[in-house]
Every structure is written in C-alpha cells, then in structure tokens.
C-alpha cells in the first residue's frame, strides 16, 4: 500500500528522490542491541517463532528487519552527506518498542536508535534528538538512550496504553537524567493540541538542546481513523507536527531531519499521515514560525508536566 502511495507522486507533484537502503550489518545492529538479542533474532531466519505475546517472526522477518534498519541508516547517510535535505524511511517492521535486548510490540530491531548510533559512530555527530509521536510510548528507544546525555528523546503518547510506560516523571537516569521527556496524553487529543505541543513545548526543548540531527519516530496510530489509538489527528495535524520539526531543524541543524515509519493500523490513516509527512519534509506544506504558544494540555496534566520539565529546560 505504501509503495502504491509513493507511485502516486511524480517529480512535478513532489520534489522527491527515492532511495533504496541496504541490509544493515551486524556491527550496525550491535551499536543499539546486545549480541544475545541479535543472535536470537538471527536464529529465527527460515522459521516461525513467537518472541512474545504480540511479536512473531516469520521465515523472512530477520531479513526484513535488517533491511528496515539499513533503510533508516541510508536515509541518515543521504541527509548528512547533503544528497537530500530531509528523508523518510518507509520501512517495516517498525522499531521503537525494541530495547537493547528484547523484541516487543511487532518490533525486532530499533531502527531509529540504530540510525542515531550510526550518525554518531560514522558521521561524528554528538547531539541527536529523537522525537516520537506514535500513540504508543517508544519504550525501547528510551531504554537504549536512558543514561545517554547526548541523545534527547521526546515522546508524546496516549497514557496507559501499551506498553504502559512513559510516565511524565520518567526522565532518564544518571548522566541522561532530563534527556528523556515523556508527555503522556489522555485520549481524544487532536490537531489543535498536537500543534500547540509541537509548536511550543517541543520546539523550545529542541532549541535548548541544539541537536545536530533530528530523527522522527513517525507513528500514524494517532490518526482519527486508527482502530488501536484514541486520538483524532488529521492530515492538517500531521502536517503541522512534522512542519514544526522541520522548522526546528532549519533553525538548529542545517535542516537535517529524518523520519522513520513506526506504527499505523488504518490504511487511510497511514496514507493521510505519510502524505502529510512527505509534503512537510519536502517543503510543499509550510508551518508558520516563530514558536507557538507554550502548550495546551488538560488542566492538571499541564501543570504537572511543566513543573517537571522546568528542572531541565527554560520554558
């Protein structure tokens, strides 16, 4: 379906270059995962194996997961080398639930974390921001970088949904304390709320962190048509979320931003969200800058979140 979506665009309609990723190498996977985890996933090749209650590897899953991680790496390479200004890795399986040593939530390897580690190891970047707008908390990504002061992880997600993590007070540990920002939201948040959060709070946090690259875990299960989430984001909302992140990248890191596909369980929601993302990344859709209002969250939620964040950010 996503390939069909891409085929609907022509060079005249959207200034887009199609890149093809390679298989990730063992070394690239091991920058984010333990060897034990890598070997466990590799051992599923040619088999059907249940890895947990939700996650099943079929005979070709290992190959697909290696290509998904390689696709995210290829997108980062193209952006940092200046071949393209922005990029999106439209890959499966997704990755943000996969932790250092476990598969979870349909995720085998953590594509966005592997891409971040590649940017550091190969391109010498020292400050990377990962922003996750999937309806589910990116628990695997946070686990990989939980003690790392050089990666800022920001997640907006629906509270009390799978996997049950991502409370506002969970802000990292050790040297990484304050570098994991969780913004759990009650159901029924839509375009206006996400616009305010990303145009205000997220933009200001990024401005103070000063990343050299912004990576997006782009999950489209916040779409109004998605059967698993309780949010109501439309094309306009996705365009504004990504548009704000593009504005931040233009201001902070030479426009370098890479989106990596995560969740999405509605065909129409995926089509709407991916279209909006590609158009925002390509500059066809622009979002007004300067920074928007700080944040509009439900009363109580807002006060609790901002009190915590102000320990680490001037907001």
Query: What pLDDT is attached to residue 2?
Result: 53
- Residue 97 annotated among the catalytic residues of the structure: yes
Q: Write out pLDDT tens, residues 265-283.
A: 999 999 999 999 999 999 9
With a cut of 50, say whether residue 89 has pLDDT above it: yes
Is residue 203 situated within a structural domain?
yes
Find the mean pLDDT for residues 197-214: 95
Interatomic CA distance for residues 69 and 89, integer angstroms: 9
Is residue 291 situated within a structural domain?
yes
Is residue 164 situated within a structural domain?
yes
Q: DSSP letter string over 177-208? A: TTSEEEEEE-TT-BHHHHHHIIIIIIHHHHHH
Query: What pLDDT is attached to residue 10?
Result: 43
Q: What are phi and psi of 208, to 5 degrees?
A: -80, -30
Using CA atoms of 140, 146, 149, 151 in order, give the dihedral in degrees to the nearest 10. 10
Number of domains in the chain: 1
The 3-class SS string of 29-83 reads HHCCCCHHHHHHHHCCCCCCEECCCCCEECCCHHHHHHHHHHHHHHHHHHHHCCC
The catalytic position among 97, 118, 136, 244 is: 97
With a cut of 70, say whether residue 222 has pLDDT above it: yes
| Domain at 274, CATH number | 3.40.800.20
Is residue 315 situated within a structural domain?
no
With a cut of 60, say whether residue 22 has pLDDT above it: yes
Is residue 131 situated within a structural domain?
yes
**3 confidence band (pLDDT: 50, 70, 90):** low
With a cut of 60, say whether residue 187 has pLDDT above it: yes
Interatomic CA distance for residues 154 and 130, integer angstroms: 6
Q: Residues 95, 117: contact at Cβ < 8 Å?
A: no
Interatomic CA distance for residues 255 and 252, integer angstroms: 7
Is residue 118 situated within a structural domain?
yes
Interatomic CA distance for residues 101 and 81, integer angstroms: 31
Query: What pLDDT is attached to residue 12?
Result: 44
Give residue 237's Cα distance to chain centre.
Answer: 16
Query: What pLDDT is attached to residue 145?
Result: 98
Find the mean pLDDT for residues 203-228: 97
The token pair that represents 212 in the structure block = 């050299």
With a cut of 80, say whether residue 31 has pLDDT above it: yes
Pairing mode, strands 56-57 and 49-50: antiparallel
Is residue 95 situated within a structural domain?
yes
Using CA atoms of 66, 72, 76, 78 in order, give the dihedral in degrees to the nearest 10. 90
Domain extent, residue 184, equals 2-309
Find the mean pLDDT for residues 66-85: 97
Find the mean pLDDT for residues 47-74: 97
Report the range of poorest mean pLDDT among 39-53, 162-176, 207-221, 281-295: 281-295
The token pair that represents 205 in the structure block = 């946090």
Which residue did the predictor score with more confidence, 13 or 267?
A: 267
Find the mean pLDDT for residues 75-94: 97
Closest CA to 79 of 259, 312, 222, 277: 259
Query: What pLDDT is attached to residue 285?
Result: 86
Q: Write out pLDDT tens, residues 227-246.
A: 999 999 999 999 999 999 99
Is residue 78 situated within a structural domain?
yes
């Amino acid at each position: 379906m996503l390939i069909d979506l891409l085929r609907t665009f022509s060079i005249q309609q959207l200034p887009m270059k199609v890149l093809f990723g390679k298989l990730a190498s063992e070394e690239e996977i091991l920058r984010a995962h333990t060897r034990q985890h890598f070997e466990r996933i590799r051992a599923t090749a040619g088999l059907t194996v249940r890895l947990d209650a939700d996650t099943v590897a079929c005979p070709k899953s290992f190959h697909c997961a290696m290509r998904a991680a390689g696709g995210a790496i290829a997108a980062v390479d193209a952006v940092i080398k200046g071949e393209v200004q922005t990029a999106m890795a439209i890959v499966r399986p997704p990755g943000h639930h996969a932790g250092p040593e476990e598969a979870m939530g349909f995720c085998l390897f953590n594509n966005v974390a592997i891409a971040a580690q590649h940017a550091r190891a190969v391109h010498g970047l020292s400050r990377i921001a990962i922003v996750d707008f999937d309806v589910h908390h990116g628990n695997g990504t946070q686990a990989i970088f939980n003690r790392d002061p050089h990666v800022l992880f920001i997640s907006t997600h629906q509270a009390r949904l799978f996997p049950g993590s991502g409370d506002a007070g969970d802000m990292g540990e050790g040297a990484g304390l304050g570098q994991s920002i969780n913004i759990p939201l009650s159901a029924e948040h839509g375009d206006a709320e996400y616009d305010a959060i990303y145009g205000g709070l997220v933009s200001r946090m990024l401005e103070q962190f000063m990343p050299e690259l912004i990576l997006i875990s782009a999950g489209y299960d916040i779409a109004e048509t998605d059967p698993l989430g309780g949010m109501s984001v439309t094309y306009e909302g996705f365009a504004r979320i990504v548009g704000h992140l593009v504005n931040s990248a233009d201001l902070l890191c030479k426009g370098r931003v890479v989106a990596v596909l995560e969740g999405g369980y509605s065909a129409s929601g995926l089509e709407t969200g991916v279209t909006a993302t590609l158009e925002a990344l390509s500059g066809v859709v622009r979002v007004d800058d300067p920074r928007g209002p700080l944040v509009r969250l439900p009363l109580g939620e807002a006060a609790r979140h901002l009190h915590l964040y102000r320990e680490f950010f001037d907001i």
